[in-house]
């Protein structure tokens, strides 16, 4: 690694990334590169998916964690390592530590998904649940490091972490030498910084575009200010990129090398995750689907061939269920509504008959007759319907209104 003369922060070079690649030989997989006919049709150019969701531990995080821990001095290894994470980094640190024979302790939020907690333990870490949000968990891990001498393994703000993540960029250039644009999700910035270092050093003509969830987009204001700034209460379903402040080390690299940072909405993230599952047959977490969300948002603004980096696939099944329903609603394939009708025998059957005529599949019905908001002869029905897209949703609403039903929402 070298140091920036401007601010004395360590930086990362192509040699660092190549060194990390040698270190990861036999440890991290060269994950598959899959073409997407559907996305290629939208973009008007070839689109490939770099499947880091199929990496060992389910995300790219193993790369950086292994390089960081492997670079520790013998006395540092003897002291053990500690990390804080809600999922992917936790599993990467746990597995890397086990491979290297280093004791690891991982702090996770109290509400962390049980499958991620169990996987982290299975990879060999001692898991301690602390705090309701990651910031509290992070503080507990840093305090543990001060008290015990364990080495704190930051999820993104260290040059070894960035060099390890940058090996994904070298693989992309090898697997898709004709690439013109690489799209990558950004949280703290370690992955985007590493990919940009590797790619721009070898192919400066290739564009690197970062993607953040709109509710946790700390990079746009930071880039505008010229320094990392914090945003209050980052909120998004994409927990892998839900970071309130860019890392100091990755920020300078992103600022210098990443061509553009875009944001995507929660609806776009849901639709992207659903597309990956249905069209590509890939289980991808919301953060991993963020590059696909950007392609869906503005497909004609990308120069092809395009590589979308699917950074991870560790998604809790219960969250997946909610996200898929959200994604189906965003795509017009799931419709939830409430309406009023006259409370008389056969009224519900008549309503269902209207829905049958417009070919809406009823998934669930909730029928309320007794409520202070209802008139004496009124009943309220909540319907969950499977529909065929936005046009069909509009047809269903119109059919109900034409039949005289008061649609509340």
pLDDT > 70 in the chain, percent: 95
Average pLDDT for residues 57-84, to the nearest whole number? 97
At residue 72, does pLDDT exceed 80?
A: yes
In the structure encoding, which two tokens stand for residue 320, read together? 């997946």
At residue 109, does pLDDT exceed 90?
A: no
Q: Are 236 and 212 in contact (CB under 8 A)?
A: no
**What residues contact 391, with CB distance under 8 A and at least 6 apart?**
332
Q: Are 258 and 198 in contact (CB under 8 A)?
A: no
39 φ, ψ to 5°? -65, -35
139-171, pLDDT tens digit by residue? 899 999 999 999 999 999 999 999 999 999 999
pLDDT grade, residue 5 (50/70/90)? very low
At residue 294, does pLDDT exceed 70?
A: yes
Query: Which range among 276-285, 331-340, 365-374, 383-392 shows the weakest confidence by mean pLDDT?
Result: 365-374
Q: Angle at CA 289, nearest 5°, toward 250 and 267?
A: 115
Supply the pLDDT for residue 372.
63
At residue 229, does pLDDT exceed 80?
A: yes
At residue 399, does pLDDT exceed 80?
A: yes
At residue 375, does pLDDT exceed 70?
A: no
Give Cα 116 distance to the centre of its chain. Answer: 15
Q: Are 185 and 290 in contact (CB under 8 A)?
A: yes
Average pLDDT for residues 194-219, to the nearest whole number? 97
Average pLDDT for residues 163-182, to the nearest whole number? 98
Supply the pLDDT for residue 24.
97
- Average per-residue pLDDT in the chain? 91
The structure's pTM equals 0.85
Average pLDDT for residues 280-296, to the nearest whole number? 95
At residue 329, does pLDDT exceed 80?
A: no
Q: Are 280 and 296 in contact (CB under 8 A)?
A: no
Rounded to 10 degrees, the C-alpha dihedral 314/318/321/327 comes to -60
The sign of the dihedral angle between the CA atoms of 262, 267, 270, 275 is negative
At residue 328, does pLDDT exceed 80?
A: no
Query: Which range among 104-113, 211-220, 243-252 shows the weakest confidence by mean pLDDT?
Result: 104-113
Supply the pLDDT for residue 189.
95
Catalytic residue set: 61, 311
pLDDT > 90 in the chain, percent: 64
Strands (E), 33-177: 33-35, 47-51, 81-84, 104-108, 126-129, 151-152
Supply the pLDDT for residue 7.
55
Supply the pLDDT for residue 154.
94
């Amino acid at each position: 690694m070298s140091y920036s003369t401007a601010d004395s922060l360590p930086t990362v070079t192509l040699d660092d990334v190549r060194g990390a690649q040698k270190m990861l030989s036999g440890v991290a997989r060269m994950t598959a590169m899959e073409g997407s006919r559907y996305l290629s049709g939208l973009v008007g150019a070839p689109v490939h998916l770099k499947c880091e969701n199929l990496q060992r531990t389910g995300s790219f995080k193993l790369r950086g964690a292994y390089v960081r821990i492997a670079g520790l001095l013998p006395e540092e290894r003897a002291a053990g390592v500690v990390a804080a994470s809600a999922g992917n980094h936790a599993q990467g640190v746990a597995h890397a530590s086990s491979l290297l024979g280093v004791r690891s302790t991982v702090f996770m939020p109290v509400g962390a998904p049980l499958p991620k907690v169990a996987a982290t333990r299975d990879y060999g870490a001692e898991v301690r649940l602390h705090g309701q949000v990651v910031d509290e968990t992070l503080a507990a891990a840093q305090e543990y490091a001060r008290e015990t001498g364990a080495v704190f393994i930051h999820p993104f703000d260290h040059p070894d972490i960035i060099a390890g993540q940058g090996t994904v960029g070298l693989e992309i250039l090898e697997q898709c030498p004709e690439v013109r644009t690489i799209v990558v999700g950004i949280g703290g910035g370690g992955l985007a910084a590493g990919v940009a270092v590797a790619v721009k050093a070898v192919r400066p003509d290739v564009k690197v575009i970062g993607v953040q969830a709109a509710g946790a987009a700390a990079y746009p204001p930071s880039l505008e200010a010229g320094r990392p700034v914090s945003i209050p209460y980052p909120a998004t379903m994409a927990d892998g990129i839900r970071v309130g402040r860019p890392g100091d080390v990755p920020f300078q690299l992103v600022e210098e090398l990443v061509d553009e940072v875009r944001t995507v909405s929660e609806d776009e993230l849901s639709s992207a995750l659903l597309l990956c599952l249905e069209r590509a047959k890939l289980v991808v977490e919301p953060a991993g689907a963020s590059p696909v969300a950007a392609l869906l948002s503005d497909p004609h603004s990308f120069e092809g061939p395009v590589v979308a980096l699917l950074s991870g696939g560790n998604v809790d099944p219960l969250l997946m269920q909610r996200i898929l329903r959200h994604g189906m609603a965003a795509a017009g394939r799931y419709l939830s509504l409430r309406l009023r009708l006259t409370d008389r025998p056969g009224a519900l059957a008549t309503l269902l008959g209207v829905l049958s005529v417009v070919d809406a599949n009823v998934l669930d019905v909730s029928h309320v007759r007794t409520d202070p908001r209802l008139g004496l002869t009124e009943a309220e029905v909540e319907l969950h319907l499977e529909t065929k897209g936005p046009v069909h949703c509009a047809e269903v609403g119109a059919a109900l209104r034409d039949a005289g039903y008061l649609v509340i929402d």
